[in-house]
């Protein structure tokens, strides 16, 4: 404030604006007159000043145009002056700090003309308030104004102004203006002096007007004279008058002065705003920014210089006590968080036809309730005669059990509806219906319209894959115990079978005639023809003994000579220091065509010839050893000092110098030339029973005791290309056909499965495996079925032997 | 409807090729529901036979086995046309006369006369049986099972000189040899024949499965499992030729000494040395004249074409039936079947080859057709391999077959199915066959005039006659 005042005082001449104010001060007074009484002749504001005409003009015109905000202002201030004081003062302060707006220093409130001259000097605080009030109006007045030059002289005369006054003509001097000013009505110096300028003279004060109802006067003038009541129009006249007067609705009656007062637009606006509960002053902004007097921002010079009170730094003891009490009670469990109540599952009627809830609609599809059966003729109370049951039918119905009855009632005939008794079965039926709904499926199964046939991979018709063995043709009989093994000679004429009855039998394949029987001391576990066609020899294992036999009955003379020389030469070049002993047979054995015996220290389980017929591999499962014998040199090697796992089968590769060793879970392929491991196959089985190699050497089949047959493609991976699970029990043997694209597997379930396998020479094409035939004919004895199978070397024929002591040829 | 159908009639003309039976050639209206028996009655009536003769009827060369109506329907013939029905005297079903039990499996059979049968057995002997169940003789010579025997037929028209040089019986065996047998001088009696081993033929490398003589009996052809066919002369070789053989050895075989030692060793096991030494005549060796190469597997059978001297046929396990030229040794024609051939027979009456197969069928081929895979007819009816076949010597349409299903079936190739089936079940273990085991196989068959004999696994010789 002080600053502002200082400024004001210090710079009186500085700004012409302030100087101007001297003259301008009058102008608000002009407004007042205009507002309150438009009829009043306002003395012309003769701007004697050298101030710009425009400003003066602006004032005048603005006043005219804006009618008057003064009374409102005053009314407003009356209503909530106290409130606004702060804000107004704020405004003024703000404006003064910024000095943005040119100040119209004094308002009309300083209506005292006498004080006009001094008004600039006024330091009254209140004045400032009002000043600030006015500044708002002033802002409005500064709006651009264009109507100056249209003013008519007549209009100006009304205000007692001439064109000359307005500066269009030569300007009047100050003295003239002072003289003219005396014509203005006297202004009450009261604070709220708006209405005091009115001409009324009733001085009764603020007493109820009813007190004067019985008198002819309504009060007294200032002079103490009675003011007579004006003639009161009767209601009809009043009505007519109102009807004529378009402004009748905006007139109110001033009972005190017995006058009709027409409300101005501003007043109506105020009334309307009050009615609407708004602030009466249209220009009042209730939401203007507040001025933070006491802010967090520390000013250079704080408002108070007092130091922070000590209490601010001391933690409250009582608060601490309160908190501790809560803490204790939480610890003691007196205060605890109540478990949130579980939200109940949404229960909804799934059968309802309108699932209006949007969430439900998203979650659920509408499931139509199972339809109740529609009533038929027989359910009628008066059914047609043909629906009525006969006595027999009734009897039958009654005898039937409740569940078997086609209907749960017997049709009955009643003459009229009146005779129909109460329906007994209502509750059972309702219950049944509820059961139907309850048991109905709660979800809709989306059925895929797929032909199941189309899902089956397209395999060629087995008929197109002929020939393959289909029927049992020849039976080779003679064994008296399990037939463990069989072998076909390379020319395809002779068949050897080894059995648990300690014998090996030689059969003619085409007739089944048993040509020769060799009897040993131990069960024969393995027997195998030498695959070399030029040599006529086979190996058989009886217990721990491996015997090499040259069957002279069937030997071709040439090959017989060859074989004998081979064996003789081998004897000559024999390396004595072999792993196992090659023994000369006894004379008795010689008579039986036994040429050599090799004593293994453990029972021999498998015999397998190399394809050239010189090497013979034997497997003893009991001591887990593998031996490879060479016939031409009569030596024995032990390729694995300690095999990796329990060896189940061994096999020579059909093309490459590889040696396959099947342990319980893996098949390992070794290169015999380089003496290293080529790869390991994992059939994913628990116990491998048998393996065989495709004649072309790229594929291997593995049979397992856990019913599986796995097909490996050596080009693909170490996992099976196909796993076939058709057998019901352990697979005992698998074998490929050398002449036809067939392989077979035999199992303890007494069946032999024959598969057609097409191995393409194209590397990109995977082998095609088609099951073509299940051969069942072997009986199961002691839960053992077919023990060995092998294919004929040139024909699509299959030999099988089993625990039922039989050997069959399938063609 | 039934009555209507029964009234359905067809015009038929009966004809017969035999002059014995002549019936009027005018068409006769006959009801279509007649079967063979009804038609037979009509013919007997027409012929005014006092004792009715059974007839069989052929329509368009097809044997009638059902009613005429069904026949017409099957072959979609119209009943409007005049049917030409040929009638033939029907064959009476054969009756099983007796069975002769032998010790071992029978591999080959020969009917020498009505009551004399040669039996080749798996116990490596040839037995001669008469119908009184007497084993007249046992020919010992082979060291392994005998697979085939053939007789050289009637040698009466030959001069004595050549006759003395001829053998009467040939037998082929699993011991890879063929033995020629000559009627021993001691047995002039036809009813009580005995044979001596005349020579032994070496040359094959495997079991000799079939042997047959040419028409003029001058040569014989053998078929072996070593895939070769060989032709040999039937003459008993001279001493000079023996020396040559001893010097040079036999082509393709190891030295003769070795062979002899081998065969002696084998024999030593079979027969007691004491008896054999004394009986053993001097051995004559024979070598083949020509080898026919072409088959790629065991050759199972060979048969000659009596009408064409230089031609013969063979069938083998390589599924082919080949015809050969004797003079050049070339394979003239190859016919390929679907499965292995077990037996082939040529009929001189009809000029057709019949073959038995492992797929239970009998196929009939026309050797005159060049095409390699044309089968005239397939006869199906057996339930196992057809091991042995024989054409009828009188009827060009009839043949008999023996199969592993232990039945002999008689076929008329004009009809699709067999006419008669003779079950040849051994009385020895009838019904005692272990479960799952197959029935006894029949391996051999011969048919001469009215007698059909068959034998096989059971060792019984089944004699049937019409």
Closest CA to A751 of A709, A688, A715: A709
Q: Which two tokens stand for residue B9?
A: 């009639």
Contact B218, B303 (CB under 8 A): no
- Per-residue model confidence as pLDDT tens digits over A12-59: 444 333 334 444 444 444 343 334 343 444 334 443 444 333 434 434
Q: Is B196 on the interface with A (CB under 8 A)?
A: no
Asked if pLDDT for residue A328 goes beyond 90, the answer is yes
Helix (H) or strand (E) holding A801: strand A798-802
In the prediction, which pLDDT does A745 show? 92
Over residues B365-389, mean pLDDT = 81
Q: Are residues B139 and B190 in the same domain?
A: yes
Nearest to B384 among A473, A552, A557 (CB): A473
Same domain, B58 and B108: no
| Domain hosting residue B34, numbered range | 2-89
pLDDT digits (tens, 9 = 90+) for A645-654: 889 999 999 8
Residue B258 sits in the same domain as residue B235: yes
Mean pLDDT of A66-92: 42
**What is the phi-psi region of residue B459: left when phi exceeds 0, alpha when psi lies from -120 to 50, beta otherwise?**
left
Integer CA distances (angstroms), A150 to A145, A153, A156, A165, A169, in order: 12, 9, 11, 15, 15
Mean local confidence (pLDDT), B82-94: 80
Q: What does the pLDDT read at residue B131?
A: 76
**So what's the ipTM on this one?**
0.86
Rg value, chain B, Cα: 25
The pLDDT value given to residue B117: 86
* Domains of chain A with CATH codes: 2-197 (no CATH), 209-275 (no CATH), 385-413 (no CATH), 467-810 (2.130.10.10)
Same-domain status, B81 and B117 = no
pLDDT tens string A429-462: 899 888 888 888 777 777 788 888 888 878 788 8
Instruction: Identify the pLDDT of residue A609.
Output: 92
CA A483 to chain B, closest CA, distance in angstroms equals 15
The residue of chain B with its CA nearest to that of A474 is B438
CA distances from A235 to A244, A462, A679 (A): 14, 121, 125
- Chain A environment of B434 (Cβ under 8 Å): 477
B102 in the same domain as B84? no
**Residue owning tokens 């009229």:** A416
Q: What share of chain A is helix, strand, coil (3-state, %, to 5)?
A: 30, 20, 50
d(CA A127, CA A129): 5
Q: Which helix (H) or strand (E) holds A132?
A: helix A125-141
Task: Tell me the β-bridge partners of A615.
Answer: A630
Whether residues B206 and A779 touch (CB distance < 8 A) is answered with: no
Residue A757, strand partner residues: A769
Residue at token pair 């048991």 = A439
Same domain flag for B184 and B142:
yes
pLDDT of residue B187: 54
pLDDT range class, residue B261, cuts 50, 70, 90: low
**For residue B345, what are the β-bridge partners?**
B354
A-chain residues near B443 (CB < 8 A): 511
**Prediction pTM value:** 0.64
B108 in the same domain as B75:
no
What distance in Å separates residue A538's CA from the closest CA in chain B? Answer: 17
Taking contacts as CB-CB distances below 8 angstroms, the residues of chain B near A492 are: 297-298, 317
**Whether A554 and B207 lie within 8 Å, measured CB to CB:** yes
Contact at CB, B359 and A510, closer than 8 angstroms: no
Q: Assess contact for A226 and A220: CB atoms under 8 A.
A: yes
Q: Which of A566, A639, A650 is nearest to A608 (CA)?
A: A650
Q: What is the mean pLDDT of residues A564-573?
A: 82
- The answer to whether residues B54 and B199 belong to one domain is no
Residues of A in contact with B105 (CB under 8 A): 511, 513
Q: Range with the lowest mean pLDDT among B211-215, B224-228, B252-256, B330-334?
A: B252-256
**Cα–Cα distance measured from residue A646 to residue A666, given in angstroms and rounded to the nearest whole number:** 10
**CATH no. for residue B55?**
3.10.20.90
The Cα of A772 is separated from the nearest Cα of chain B by a number of Å equal to 18
Peptide bond between residue B440 and the one before it cis (omega within 30 degrees of 0): no
Tell me which of B176, B356, B437, B459 to substitute to probe the interface with A (most A C-beta atoms closer than 10 Å): B437
B136 with B158, same domain? yes
Same domain, residue pair B200 and B311 = yes
Please give the pLDDT value at position A369: 78
For residue range B16-42, list pLDDT tens digits in order. Answer: 877 777 777 788 888 888 888 888 888
Name which of A493, A518, A535 to mutate to probe chain B: the one with the most chain B Cβ atoms within 10 A of its Cβ.
A493
For the segment A699-709, what is each residue's pLDDT rounded down to a tens digit? 899 999 988 99
Yes or no, beta carbons of A558 and B254 under 8 Å apart: yes
Q: Which residues of A672-705 are buried (b: 16+ CB within 10 A; e: fewer)?
A: beeeeeeeebebebeebbbbbbbbeebbbbbbbb
Domain count, chain B: 2
DSSP string, B275-343: HHHHH-----EE--SEEEE--SS-EEEEEE-TTSTTEEEEEETTSEEEEEETTT--EEEEEE-SS-EEE
Q: Is A67 left (phi over 0), alpha (psi -120 to 50) or beta?
A: left
Higher per-residue pLDDT: A245 or A649: A649
Question: Which residues, other chains included, contact B31 with Cβ-Cβ below 8 Å and sequence gap of 6+?
Answer: B6, B7, B8, B9, B38
Instruction: Say whether both B29 and B169 belong to one domain.
Output: no
Do B76 and B109 belong together in one domain? no
Indicate if the pLDDT at residue B166 is higher than 60.
yes
Question: Tokens for B393?
Answer: 């010597």
CA atoms of A587 and A589, how far apart (whole Å)? 5
How is residue A678 written in tokens?
Answer: 């080529």
């Amino acid at each position: 404030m002080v600053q502002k005042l200082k400024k004001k005082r210090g710079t009186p001449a500085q700004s012409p604006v302030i100087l101007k104010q001297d003259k301008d001060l009058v102008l608000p007074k002009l407004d007042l007159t205009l507002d309150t009484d438009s009829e009043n002749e306002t003395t012309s504001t003769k701007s004697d000043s050298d101030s710009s005409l425009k400003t003066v003009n602006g004032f005048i015109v603005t006043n005219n145009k804006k009618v008057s905000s003064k009374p409102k202002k005053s009314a407003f201030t009356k209503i909530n002056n106290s409130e606004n004081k702060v804000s107004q003062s704020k405004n003024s302060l703000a404006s003064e700090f910024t000095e943005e707006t040119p100040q119209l220093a004094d308002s009309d409130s300083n209506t005292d003309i006498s004080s006009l001259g001094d008004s600039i000097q006024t330091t009254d605080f209140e004045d400032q308030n009002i000043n600030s009030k006015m500044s708002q109006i002033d802002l409005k007045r500064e709006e651009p104004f264009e109507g100056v030059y249209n003013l008519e002289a007549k209009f100006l005369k009304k205000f007692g102004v001439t064109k000359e006054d307005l500066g269009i003509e030569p300007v009047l001097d100050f003295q003239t203006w002072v003289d003219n000013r005396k014509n203005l009505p006297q202004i009450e110096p009261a604070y709220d002096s708006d209405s005091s300028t009115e001409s009324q003279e009733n001085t009764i004060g603020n007493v109820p007007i009813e007190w004067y109802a019985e008198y002819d006067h309504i009060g007294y003038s200032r002079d103490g004279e009675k003011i007579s009541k004006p003639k009161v129009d009767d209601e009809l006249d009043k009505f007519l008058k109102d009807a004529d007067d378009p402004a009748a609705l905006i007139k109110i009656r001033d009972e005190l002065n017995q006058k009709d007062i027409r409300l101005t637009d501003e007043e109506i606006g105020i009334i309307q705003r009050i009615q609407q509960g708004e602030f009466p002053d249209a220009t009042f902004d209730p939401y203007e920014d507040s001025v933070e007097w006491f802010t967090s921002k520390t000013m250079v010079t704080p408002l108070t210089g007092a130091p922070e009170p000590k209490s601010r730094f001391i933690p409250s003891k009582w608060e601490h006590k309160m908190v501790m009490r809560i803490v204790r009670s939480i610890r003691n469990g007196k205060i605890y968080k109540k478990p949130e109540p579980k939200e109940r599952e949404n229960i909804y009627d799934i059968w309802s036809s309108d699932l209006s809830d949007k969430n439900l609609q998203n979650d659920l599809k509408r499931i139509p309730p199972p339809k109740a059966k529609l009533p038929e003729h027989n359910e009628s109370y008066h059914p047609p005669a043909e629906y009525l049951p006969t006595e027999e039918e009734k009897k039958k119905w009654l005898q039937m059990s409740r569940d078997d009855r086609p209907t749960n009632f017997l049709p009955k005939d009643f003459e009229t509806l009146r005779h129909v008794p109460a329906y007994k079965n209502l509750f059972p039926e309702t219950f049944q219906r509820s059961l139907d709904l309850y048991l109905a499926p709660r979800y809709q199964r989306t059925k895929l319209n797929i032909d199941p046939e189309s899902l089956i991979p397209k395999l060629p018709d087995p008929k197109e894959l002929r020939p393959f063995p289909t029927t049992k043709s020849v039976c080779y009989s003679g064994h008296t115990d399990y037939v463990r093994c069989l072998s076909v000679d390379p020319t395809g004429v002779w068949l050897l079978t080894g059995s648990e009855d300690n014998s090996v039998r030689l059969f003619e394949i085409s007739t089944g005639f048993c040509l020769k029987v060799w009897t040993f001391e131990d069960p024969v576990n393995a027997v195998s023809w030498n695959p070399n066609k030029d040599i006529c020899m086979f190996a058989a294992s009886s217990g721990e003994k491996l015997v090499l036999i040259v069957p002279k009955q069937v030997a071709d003379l040439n090959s017989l000579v060859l074989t004998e020389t081979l064996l003789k030469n081998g004897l000559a070049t024999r390396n004595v220091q072999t792993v196992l002993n090659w023994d000369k047979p006894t004379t008795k054995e010689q008579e039986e065509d036994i040429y050599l015996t090799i004593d293994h220290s453990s029972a021999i389980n498998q015999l397998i010839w190399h394809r050239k017929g010189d090497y013979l591999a034997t497997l003893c499962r009991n001591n887990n050893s593998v031996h490879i014998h060479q016939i031409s040199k009569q030596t024995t090697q032990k390729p694995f000092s300690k095999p990796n796992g329990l060896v189940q089968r061994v096999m020579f590769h059909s093309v490459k110098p590889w040696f396959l060793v099947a342990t319980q879970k893996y098949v390992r392929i070794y290169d015999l030339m380089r003496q290293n491991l080529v790869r390991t196959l994992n059939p994913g089985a628990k116990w491998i029973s048998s393996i065989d190699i495709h004649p072309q050497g790229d594929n291997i089949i593995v049979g397992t005791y856990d019913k599986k047959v796995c097909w490996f493609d050596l080009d693909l991976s170490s996992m099976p290309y196909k796993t076939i699970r058709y057998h019901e029990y352990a697979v005992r043997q698998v074998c490929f056909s050398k002449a036809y694209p067939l392989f077979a597997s035999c199992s303890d379930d007494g069946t032999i499965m024959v598969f057609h396998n097409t191995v393409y020479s194209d590397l990109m094409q995977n082998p095609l495996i088609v099951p073509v035939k299940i051969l069942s004919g072997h009986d199961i004895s002691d839960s053992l079925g077919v023990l060995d199978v092998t294919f004929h070397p040139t024909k699509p024929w299959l030999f099988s032997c089993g625990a039922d002591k039989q050997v069959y040829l399938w063609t | 409807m039934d009555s209507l159908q029964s009234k359905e009639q067809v015009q038929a003309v009966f004809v017969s090729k035999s002059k014995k039976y002549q019936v009027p050639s005018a068409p006769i209206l006959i009801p279509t529901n007649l079967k063979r028996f009804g038609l037979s009655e009509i013919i007997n009536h027409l012929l005014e036979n006092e004792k009715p003769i059974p007839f069989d009827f052929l329509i368009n060369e097809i044997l009638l086995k059902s009613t005429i109506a069904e026949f017409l329907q099957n072959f979609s013939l119209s009943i409007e046309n005049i049917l030409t029905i040929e009638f033939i005297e029907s064959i009476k079903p054969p009756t099983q006369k007796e069975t002769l039990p032998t010790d071992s499996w029978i591999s080959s059979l020969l009917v020498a006369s009505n009551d004399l049968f040669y039996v080749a057995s798996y116990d490596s002997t040839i037995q001669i049986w008469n119908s009184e169940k007497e084993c007249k003789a046992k020919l010992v010579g082979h060291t392994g099972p005998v697979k085939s025997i053939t007789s050289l037929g009637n040698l009466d028209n030959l001069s004595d000189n050549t006759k003395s040089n001829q053998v009467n019986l040939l037998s082929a065996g699993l011991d890879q040899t063929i033995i020629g047998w000559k009627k021993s001088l001691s047995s002039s009696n036809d009813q009580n024949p005995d044979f001596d081993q005349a020579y032994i033929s070496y040359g094959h490398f495997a079991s000799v499965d079939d042997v047959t003589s040419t028409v003029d009996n001058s040569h014989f052809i053998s078929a072996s499992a070593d895939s070769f066919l060989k032709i040999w002369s039937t003459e008993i070789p001279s001493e000079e030729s023996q020396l040559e053989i001893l010097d040079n050895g036999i082509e393709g075989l190891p030295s003769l000494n070795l062979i002899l030692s081998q065969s002696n060793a084998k024999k030593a096991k079979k027969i007691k040395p004491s008896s054999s030494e004394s009986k053993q005549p001097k051995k004559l060796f024979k070598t083949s004249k020509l080898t026919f190469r072409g088959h790629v597997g065991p050759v199972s059978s060979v048969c000659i074409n009596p009408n064409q001297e230089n031609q013969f046929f063979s069938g083998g396990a390589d599924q082919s039936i080949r015809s050969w030229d004797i003079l050049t040794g070339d394979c003239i024609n190859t016919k390929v079947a679907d499965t292995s051939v077990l037996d082939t027979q040529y009929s001189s009456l009809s000029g057709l080859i019949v073959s038995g197969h492992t797929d239970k069928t009998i196929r009939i081929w026309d050797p005159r057709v060049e095409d390699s895979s044309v089968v005239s007819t397939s006869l199906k009816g057996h339930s196992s391999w057809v091991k042995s076949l024989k054409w009828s010597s009188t009827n060009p349409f009839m043949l008999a077959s023996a199969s592993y299903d232990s039945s002999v079936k008689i076929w008329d190739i004009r009809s699709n199915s067999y006419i008669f089936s003779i079950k040849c079940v051994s009385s020895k273990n009838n019904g005692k066959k272990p479960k799952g085991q197959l029935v006894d196989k029949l391996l051999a068959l011969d048919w001469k005039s009215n007698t059909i004999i068959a034998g096989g696994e059971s060792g019984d010789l089944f004699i049937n006659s019409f």
